[in-house]
Structure 1
Amino acid sequence: MTECSQETFAFTAHFLRRVEAGFTAGRISSDGGAILLREADRKIGLLRRLEGCFVDRRHPKRIVHRVREMLAQRIFGIAMGYEDLDDHEQLRTDPLVALLSGKSDLEEDLAGKSTLNRLELVGRSERYHKIDYSAEAIDRLLVDLYLQSHPQPPEEVVLDLDATDIPLYGHQPERFFHGYYDSYCYLPLYIFAGDQLLGVRLRPSNQDASAGSLTEVSRIVEQLRTRWPGVRIVLRADSGFCREEIMAWCEANQVDYLFGLARNERLCRTIQGSMEQARRLHESSGKPARFFTEFAYRTLSSWSRERRVVAKAEYLERGENPRFVVTSLSTEEWPAQNLYEKLYCARGDMENRIKEQLHLFADRLSTAQMASNQLRLYFSALAYTLVEALRRLGLRGTDWAEAQVDTLRIKLFKIGTLVRVSVRRVFLSMSSAYPWKSLFTHVFRVLRC
């Protein structure tokens, strides 16, 4: 790009006044509100503990950028909306980012894209690669952060499982075409408990949607029960996870489940009477009509036993719309309609949580190693965990308690801020025209208490 040395810019006049601009205001950052993320991190200890998940084999006397600083750069950067390493080439002189990253001298440059690239390209044997991470340690950290967020053990934990597609446009490893998504993609698995993320695993797309999920669920359940031995755990997922292996494991380990069940001719015949009732009600009222029923069901060969199936016999303007779920939960505790409408349908909110992962650039998986792409997926997950902590701790009870990350980024983090550094203090002089000062003040007070 051609370097421009122009210092003053003359724009169209405003009535009788000239309109001029210049980059002369000093060390101003556009992300002053992200200082609240630093306070959220102080509350939950994410970055301090994440540093322990990495092994740094660099010579101590030659280290300019500590691992914790680089991790903070990436995770805070993702939360603020900076999606890749090229952005950090421009951000390395931003004093606010230096403050967030824990740099002792805010006048020093931060790590650039080449240094951060060496952090991310793990699993290589070349002599310049000196930093590695433990996936097992990061997996444990995500669950530990969930556990510590509860002062008292809950009576019940509902684990939501889902897979999503990450389209691929290059020649990444384990690249396969997926017929359902009609693209080359990865198929990562996400596990949430409410809004909190407990696990994420990168997977190729040439396998079943449930592949590997039992491994992830079993380690999470073990970690939860080690801390909360009496907690009840329920798995909830769509029909892609309705597999004999998973249901049998749940039954053997006192874990309840609620899974969607793909329709077939036998199931549809079983609810034929209820569907006929729904059709007649629809024709007489002109409105959608539904009836709920339940029955014991076993597949012809794949299931080892009969299980409780709840059916929704629904008739819409376009015709029949049958839906089925299979569960270990009892009729006494969860009658058919409540089970479907209140418990199963609540899993739909998980789609919003996965959408937030994409707002945090979980689809930027363009490296040539699966381990490196898994690390990038972790970075997005950890940035989400940080934003979720800010939302849960600082915004609870406000109109923004359920605001998604892209909204928080624009309205809470993007504050023009002049950074003044002296011997005794760092002062962030924020825009006096910022329209949500009262909300910022509220979040600050909650996080600092």
Structure 2
Amino acid sequence: MDDPTLSLPGLSPLGRTSIVARFDGGSLSSDSGVLVLREVEKRLGVADRLAGCLDDPRNPDLIVHGLADMIRFRMLMIAAGYEDANDAAALRHDPVFKMAQGTLPSGRDLASQPTLSRVENLPDPRALLRMGRAMVDLYCASFAKVPKRIVLDFDDTFDAVHGGQQLRLFNGHHDNYGFQPIVVFDGDGRFVAAVLRPAKRPSGVEIRAHLRRLLRAIRAHWPMTDILIRADSHYCGPLVIDWCRANGVDFIFGVAPSSTLRKHIETLEASTAERFNAAPGKGKVRRFKEFHDGAGSWSRVEHIIARVEAGDQGTDTRFIVTNLSGGKPKVLYQDVYCRRGCAENHIKSWKTHLAADRTSCTKATANQFRLFLHAGAYWLMWGGESKGPCPAKPERVANAGLRVSMPKRSMWRVAQLDTLRLRLIKIAPSTRHSTLLRRAEPLAPSARVVEMKTQVRLHLPTTSPAQTILRVVLGRILRLAT
């Protein structure tokens, strides 16, 4: 048995001064920045939104941990870097996590890992559909006023699995079994939706069904808002294009090259290559051409834009199709279509920094619920932003979030999510965050928690470099209306 009164052996003395280290520091936490995320979650209300979609089968007289409390605990764990429910075995005793749940440090412990696992397996397909609509409601509520236009970036990402999970499928390109969920972000980086699915290219019928559900939920809030859909060639099919036209939705999709399309740019490719060869020192030569054509399966010809680029490695040609009018081909390609690459960075942050690919449950419904939990953690770290004033309605959550609460001209506003975690939430180096091992500076404040009769005091390191920005963030995060 570990005795906290025993000192650690083997520590070398400092000159003639010995070093004595004991595990008797009292109530400490290395995740004191979770209290900032608590204020963000209170403003967003993500846990309450998701919990409201579930039917609790438990006896109300015997409930100790509410559904919203357990979902909130799980999202805070993910945001703090503890993506495994097994970590709840230790974190359920953590005083800061208890305070983030509205419990005193001396109060009851939080939910255990088995309890959290049962919650993950609780939702059925109907509950998951309600959660999907709840995430759209959260997205729409993140705007202070109704936008005139929004841009939705669709993409899919491979999620490798290593067990017998439902819906898993072998993908030849990745040479592995896994899922390939469809993920939707808007043009500013807000999370909109995620759908768990097998690791294969989505069909036009599947994409159209997903579009129909998603846009119906958005139109329920904003019936007059213009919507632009951006995606790569996976999403360019006759069913999708016809549906967008029939429902008044703008689109700009990548198009796979074909012999029919290439006939339009053979002369342009040759002349572009000649220009580069004439002056190779000036760098790559990029030219554009627009025309109307389409595949044989399309119901009509469409507006096609070709981008031809010549460089040291030869000529490269890309095609896009759009129903946008009035813009120059160069602007539509570079300033509109190419910006969908930001969605790939958002997916990378979601997967790499918040471990959204931890879909290791056996049931597909549980893994879909995990996508929503990791999406909620993304909202806590990223938040919602608006350029206008926040209205008086308490359901509006504009300007709530960790990153968007940072000063606009500061490095924090563009920092990656793991940087925000390491600098503002975490403190001590660990094997879970190996990048800290290369840092010599103290990072986020570690807290010594002292519970008194009328208050709880958190003693934070005086030398912490994060104290100024934490004051700014807490001052900017808007409180819920009371």
- Structure 2 residue corresponding to 1:294, chosen from 287, 290, 293: 290
Q: 1:35-93 CA distances to partner (integer Å, 9 max, x unpaired)? A: 11111112222223222122112111211222122111100000000011111111111
Q: Secondary structure at the match of 1:32?
A: coil
Q: How does 1:71-110 map to 2 (within 5 A)?
A: 71-103=71-103, 106-110=106-110
Preserved contact between residue 393 and residue 447 of structure 1 (Cα < 8 Å): no
Q: Aligned-pair distance for 1:189?
A: 0.6
What is aligned with 2:23? 23
Counterpart for residue 407 of structure 1: 419
| CA contact 1:391–1:402 (8 Å) conserved in 2 | no
1:418 matched to 2:448: yes
Q: Which residue of 2 aligns with 1:216?
A: 210
* Alignment partners' CA distance in 2, 1:62 and 1:218: 41
- Aligned to 2:194, what secondary structure does the other structure show? strand
Q: Distance in 2 between matches of 1:256 and 1:55?
A: 38
Partner of 2:369: 375
**Residues 106 and 281 (structure 1), Cα distance of their counterparts in 2 relative to 1, 3 Å cut:** farther
Deviations 1:139-168 (A, max 9, x none): 112111121121221121000000000001
Structure-2 separation of matches of 1:152 and 1:396: 21
Structure 1 residues 106 and 338, CA gap change in structure 2 (3 angstroms)? farther
For 1:439 and 1:425, how far apart are their aligned partners in 2?
24
> Which deviates more, 137-146 or 27-36?
137-146
For 1:102 and 1:140, locate their aligned partners in 2 and report how far apart those are by CA, in whole Å.
Answer: 27
| Counterpart residue identity of residue 195, structure 1 | G
Is the strand fraction higher in 1 or 2? Answer: 1
Q: Report the secondary structure of 1:78's partner residue.
A: helix
Give the aligned partner of residue 128 of structure 1.
none
Distance 2:373 2:206 in 1: 21
Secondary structure of the residue that 1:322 maps to in structure 2? strand
Counterpart CA distance in 2 for 1:54 and 1:429 is 39
Deviations 1:302-356 (A, max 9, x none): 11100000000111211111001000101x2x21001111111101111111112
| Aligned CA distance change for structure 1 residues 366 and 210 (closer, same or farther; 3 Å) | farther
Q: Which amino acid aligns with 1:5?
A: D
Shift of 1:413: 0.8
DSSP-derived class of the 1:304 partner: coil
**Distance in 2 between residues matched to 1:409 and 1:225, nearest whole Å:** 35
- Which SS does the other structure have where 1:235 is aligned? strand
Distance 2:403 2:209 in 1: 29
Q: Give the TM-score of the pair, scaled to structure 2.
A: 0.87
Greater CA drift, 82-91 or 198-207 = 198-207
CA positional deviation for 1:106 = 4.2
Taking structure 1 as the reference length, the TM-score comes to 0.93
Asked if residue 394 in structure 1 is aligned to residue 390 in structure 2, the reply is: no
Q: 1:143 aligns with which of 118, 136, 144?
A: 136
Structure 2: tracts of 5 or more residues without a match: 384-400, 427-444
Seen in structure 2, the aligned counterparts of structure 1 residues 123 and 444 have a Cα distance that, compared at 3 Å, is closer
Residue 5 of structure 1 corresponds to: 3
* d(CA) in 2 for partners of 1:412, 1:174: 38
Alpha-carbon separation, structure 2, partners of 1:243 and 1:347: 18
- Match of 1:292, SS state, is strand
Task: Provide the C-alpha distance between the structure 2 equivalents of 1:199 and 1:77, rounded to a whole number of angstroms.
Answer: 21
Contact 1:235 1:256 in 2 (8 A): yes
- Cα offset for 1:225? 2.3
Contact 1:418 1:429 in 2 (8 A): yes
Relative distance call for 1:285 and 1:105 in structure 2 (3 A) is same
Tell me if structure 1 keeps the 8 A contact 2:447–2:460: yes
CA distance in 2, matches of 1:169, 1:211: 29
1:152 aligns with 2:126: no
Across the aligned residues of Structure 1 and Structure 2, the Cα RMSD in angstroms comes to 1.8
Distance in 1, Cα, partners of 2:185 & 2:161: 24
Deviations 1:211-257 (A, max 9, x none): 63322222222222232222110000011100111110000010000
Contact kept, 8 Å, 1:93 with 1:109, in 2: the verdict is yes
What's 2:220 paired with?
226
What SS class does the counterpart of residue 221 from structure 1 fall into?
helix
Identity %: 33
319, 322, 347: which is aligned to 1:324?
A: 319
Residue 476 of structure 2 is matched in structure 1 by 446
Deviates further, 387-396 or 208-217: 208-217
1:170 match: 163
Q: Distance in 1 between matches of 2:129 and 2:25?
A: 46
8 Å CA contact 1:163, 1:209 repeated in 2: no
Which residue of the partner structure matches residue 199 of structure 1? 193
The residue identity in structure 2 corresponding to 1:241 is Y
Q: What pairs with 1:55-70 in structure 2 (closer than 5 Å)?
A: 55-70=55-70
The question of 1:247 aligning with 2:241 is answered yes
The AA in structure 1 aligned to 2:342 is D
The 8 Å contact of residues 47 and 69 in structure 2, kept in 1 or not, is answered as no
Report the number of matched residues.
437
Letter in 2 for 1:404: Q
Could you tell me which residue of structure 1 aligns to residue 394 of structure 2? none
- What is the deviation of 1:419? 1.7
Task: Report matched runs for 1:273-352 at 5 Å.
Answer: 273-286=267-280, 287-300=283-296, 302-330=297-325, 332=326, 334-352=327-345
Question: Which residue of 1 is the match for residue 32 of structure 2?
Answer: 32
Gaps of 5+ in 1: 125-131
Any idea what SS the aligned residue of 1:270 has?
coil
Cα distance in 2 for residues equivalent to 1:448 and 1:227: 23
Distance (Å, rounded) in 2 between the aligned partners of 1:210 and 1:79: 35
- Tell me, yes or no, if the aligned pair for 1:55 and 1:133 is still in contact at 8 Å: no
What is the CA-CA distance between 1:210 and the residue it aligns to?
5.8
